[in-house]
Amino acid sequence: MTDQTVAARELVIPPPPAALIPVKDCDAFFPVRRIWCVGRNYADHAREMGADPVREPPFFFAKPSDAIVPRGGSIAYPVGTQRLHHEVELAVAIGRCGRNIDPIEAEGYIFGYAVALDMTRRDIQDVAKTTRRPWDMAKGFDQSCPISEIQPRAAAEALQTAAISLFINGQVRQQGAVHQMIWSVAECLAALSRLVELQPGDILLTGTPAGVGDVHPGDKLHAHCERIGSLHVEYFGDGGR
* pLDDT tens-digit series, residues 134-171: 999 999 999 999 999 999 998 888 888 899 999 999 99
Give the mean pLDDT of the chain. Answer: 92
List CB contacts of 73: < 8 A, sequence separation 6 or more: 146, 232, 233, 234
The residue-averaged pLDDT of 77-81 equals 96
As a whole number of angstroms, the distance between CA 172 and CA 224 comes to: 11
The gap between the terminal CA atoms of the chain, to the nearest Å, is 44
As a whole number of angstroms, the distance between CA 46 and CA 166 comes to: 18
> What CATH number belongs to 20-236?
3.90.850.10
Pick the residue with more confidence: 108 or 156? 108
Measured CA to CA in angstroms, residue 180 lies from 23, 166, 184, 208, 210 at distances of 26, 16, 9, 10, 11
Q: How many CB atoms lie within 10 A of CB 5?
A: 8
Instruction: Name the pTM for this structure.
Output: 0.92
Kindly tell me the burial class for residue 111, based on how many C-beta atoms sit within 10 Å of its own C-beta (0-12, 13-18, 19 or more).
buried
As a whole number of angstroms, the distance between CA 231 and CA 106 comes to: 26
Judged against a pLDDT cut of 80, whether residue 53 lies above it is answered with no
As a whole number of angstroms, the distance between CA 25 and CA 236 comes to: 30
181-200 residue pLDDT tens: 999 999 999 999 999 999 99
Judged against a pLDDT cut of 80, whether residue 55 lies above it is answered with no
Q: Where are the domains of the chain?
A: 20-236
The pLDDT confidence band at residue 214, using thresholds 50, 70 and 90, is very high
Least confident piece of the model among 8-22, 30-44, 101-115, 195-209: 8-22
Residue 156: predicted pLDDT:
86
